[in-house]
Amino acid sequence: MPDTLTATIVDATSKIDAQVWNSLWAATDPHANPFMQHEFFLALEQSGSATRRTGWAPRHALLQDGGRVVGLLPMFEKSHSQGEYVFDHGWANAFEQAGGDYYPKLQCSVPFTPVTAPKLLTVSQEPALKRALLTAAATYAEQRGISSIHATFMPEAEADLAADEDWLFRTDTQYHWHNAGFGSFDDYLTTMSSRHRKVTKRERRDALDGLTVKWLTGPDLTEAVWDAFFEFYQDTGNRKWGRPYLNRTFFSLLGESMADKVVLMFAYEGNRPIAGTLSMLGKDALYGRYWGANTEVPFLHFELCYYQAIDFAIEHQLATVEAGAQGEHKLARGYAPSTTRSVHWIGHPGLRDAIDRFLKQERAAVLREQEALNDLTPFKKGENAGSN
């Protein structure tokens, strides 16, 4: 790290000035991914959703040049591997069976959020500043005897820079929809094969039979609306994770501080909401996050999570819809394979070598899988709609 730079580890988002944090975010992210805003992290911590008690102790690395803040790496000290979506349980088990202590570890990510966004927030794109943040994190880990650092869902440029600094490089697959300048959903449908076009129309018709859909944002986000959404969220969370990661307070805080970045899509039976999704809005992308329902309706999940998101992106001229983690069923709905990236600093040489060998094999397997998945998209031969 250059001699003029100093690094401090800060144990709460509230201890970092919101204007300073957000100015670094704005200078770094051309897509204005809202998950990296100070307000989002603050809501996670103030609600009690991401705190030491839940195994997410803030350890944000703050980089200063003199008295000026020039860099930030949001980071957490963790006692488990839940809520990350890049799975390292096998690494943890192997190291602990060999007599090592895998936990605590450091996690550079947005808690509970598998969305690619810059993590090396700096006043300029000067690589030296970003390398200094990586060095600060590694130095802290070494001083504390922490086994590893995991920076997940990194943009390609940041992941490449970290790999150049000898961090291990990992890839995986998500499914994203890409807007080729469509004027309407029907315009988009013309890129599909006849069979897929008919299936899509039928799914939408069956899902919406007797129902209406509303997009809710800004002042629409009343506490009654959040109560309804939280019921949906709890249903899905209880089934998928054993317990939801986020509590009811978090959504109220999100609505208070970031209402213009939140898009809820509710399906109504008469005046009663029966299902809903939560997405976040960036400069040129819609980021789908949560879904739930209190009434079973065939294809309604596809309608609210995927087709309504495409409608919204077309109407608002957004370039991309990111539909969250995993799910090959998204292929048939026009969401194409997209590569996600993470980087990993491993302190123990033996563990590092073993993980390095594994990741080389895994990256090759991910590439082969993506090549096969690209053949399963619903588009006409020769069409590139939805490709990445």
- DSSP letters, 268-292, are EETTEEEEEEEEEE-SSEEEEEEEE
- β 121-122/148-151 pair status: unpaired
pLDDT at 380: 87
Assess whether pLDDT exceeds 70 at residue 131: yes
379 DSSP assignment: B
Residue with tokens 């003029």, as numbered in its chain: 4
Instruction: Give residue 296's domain range.
Output: 180-318
Residue 95 lies in a domain: yes
- The CA-to-CA distance between both ends of the chain, in Å, stands at 36
Assess whether pLDDT exceeds 50 at residue 387: no
214 contacts 248 by C-beta, under 8 angstroms: no
Residues 252, 370: one domain?
A: no
Residue 33 lies in a domain: yes
Residues 352, 313: one domain?
A: no
Residue 325 lies in a domain: no
Confidence of residue 371 (pLDDT cuts 50, 70, 90): very high
Report d(CA 37, CA 43) in Å as an integer: 10
Residues 142, 190: one domain?
A: no
pLDDT at 145: 97
Residue 76 lies in a domain: yes
Assess whether pLDDT exceeds 60 at residue 272: yes
Residue 261 lies in a domain: yes
179, two tokens = 């807007």
pLDDT at 388: 43
Residues 163, 199: one domain?
A: no
Q: Using a cut of 0.75, tell me whether the model's pTM lies above it.
A: yes
Residues 169, 184: one domain?
A: no
User: What is the DSSP code string of 339-357?
Assistant: EEEEEEEE-SHHHHHHHHH
Q: How many other β-carbons are positioned within 10 Å of the β-carbon of residue 284? A: 16
pLDDT at 239: 66
Assess whether pLDDT exceeds 90 at residue 12: yes
Residues 190, 311: one domain?
A: yes
Chain-wide mean pLDDT for the chain?
A: 95
Q: What is the CATH number of the domain that holds 311?
A: 3.40.630.30
Residue 92 lies in a domain: yes
181 DSSP assignment: S
Q: Among candidates 1, 11, 16, 244, which has minimal Cα distance to 106?
A: 11
Helix axes 89-97, 349-374, angle to 10 degrees: 150
Report d(CA 329, CA 230) in Å as an integer: 25
Residues 270, 313: one domain?
A: yes
Mean pLDDT of the region 141-170: 98
Residues 236, 208: one domain?
A: yes
pLDDT at 386: 43
Q: What percent of the chain has pLDDT over 90?
A: 91
Assess whether pLDDT exceeds 80 at residue 242: no
Residue 333 lies in a domain: no
* 3 state DSSP class of 176: strand
Residues 184, 295: one domain?
A: yes
Residue 324 lies in a domain: no
Number of structural domains (the chain) is: 2
pLDDT at 382: 62
* 3 state DSSP class of 194: helix
Residues 27, 162: one domain?
A: yes
Assess whether pLDDT exceeds 80 at residue 157: yes
Weakest mean pLDDT among 15-19, 69-73, 298-302, 372-376: 372-376
Mean pLDDT of the region 183-200: 96
